[in-house]
Amino acid sequence: MSDVMPHGAEGGKSQSVHVTVFPQQRSRVKIRQFNPEIGSAMQRVAKVGRQTGVTRYHQVYTILAQALEVGTFPPGSALPPETELMRMYKVGRNTIRRAIGRLEREQRVIRQRGSGTFARHRDEAGLSWKRLSTMVFDFDRFATETRANYRKFARIETPSAVLQRTVDFGNRCLEIQQTRSFKGRCFSVNVSHVSERVAGKLTRRILGHKLVVSVLKDLGHSPATATQITRAVMATDETAKLLDVASGTPLLMTETVTRDAQGLPLEHLECIYRSDVYPLQLQLRYDSLGQGLRWQAVPISSPS
């Protein structure tokens, strides 16, 4: 089955070509030609640099991946032609083809010889990543649906960085280094420091795929409060390898200090996430505050 659509050839002239409709999308998606206005907008908001510490191919890949993620290119719509992307980002053809090739391997786009590259329909496997944004607030579901891979589990002297953040943490602690995977894909690198005061009975076997605070509760050390800082960081060579991204790629980092009802520290946890597969979602509401308003976080209902 095919549709007839106008499409800009790489020489810049408009022509009519036959485009095969993606089989799994026939009833839902109509092929749409590339909109030059979208290309102009992308060029204004995103640049490819030569001295950023990130390869140019990965910069182009990230720009296109984010555009697909937020719906700049709806299912069935055409991405800019290779020559247009080369002009927009001042890179060579091999750089563009390498970036698009990765998107094709990840099944985000489909390439039609002589016609162009088109956004694929986002299947349930891709959409399931969205569940992580609510699962993080449901410890049992998070432990059940994600998997931990241990890199270190050892008693050590408390790092100075932890003591600077939490002065009453204690001189010794249990350090746990993990990667976390969902649907077979690693999405975070985590480093947990557990106060020696409560870490005595905590073993790797007992922890398994669970979260530390859940196991501490079972051991009689219930968490009561936590403070969390979220910031952007750049991938180091080691983190980039674990998360399968380029060194220098922007990542999302959360730093959480959990305390018990007496205010004593239980855990200092740093999590570094791939920002493209782990959206951090919060539900907010407006609350009155005197003459003004403020945002107030509210619980997110877990998806069925």
Q: What is the per-residue DSSP string for 158-184? A: PPHHHHHH-TTS-SEEEEEEEEEEETT
Any domain includes 303: no
Residues 110 and 104 sit within 8 Å (Cβ to Cβ): yes
pLDDT digits (tens, 9 = 90+) for 168-204: 999 999 999 999 998 788 899 999 999 999 999 999 9
Q: What is the mean pLDDT of the chain?
A: 80
Q: Name the domain count of the chain.
A: 2
Any domain includes 92: yes
Pair 132, 238 in one domain = yes
Pair 117, 134 in one domain = no
Domain range enclosing 233: 127-298
Question: Taking 80 as the threshold, does the pLDDT of residue 209 lie above it?
Answer: yes
Residues 196 and 155 sit within 8 Å (Cβ to Cβ): yes
Any domain includes 257: yes
Pair 179, 276 in one domain = yes
> Looking at 89, 122, 155, which one is the last position of a domain?
122
Any domain includes 83: yes
pTM: 0.67
Pair 218, 265 in one domain = yes
pLDDT digits (tens, 9 = 90+) for 25-46: 333 444 455 556 565 556 555 6
Question: Taking 70 as the threshold, does the pLDDT of residue 21 lie above it?
Answer: no
Computed on alpha carbons and rounded to an integer, the radius of gyration of the chain in Å comes to 24
Pair 62, 147 in one domain = no
Pair 293, 156 in one domain = yes
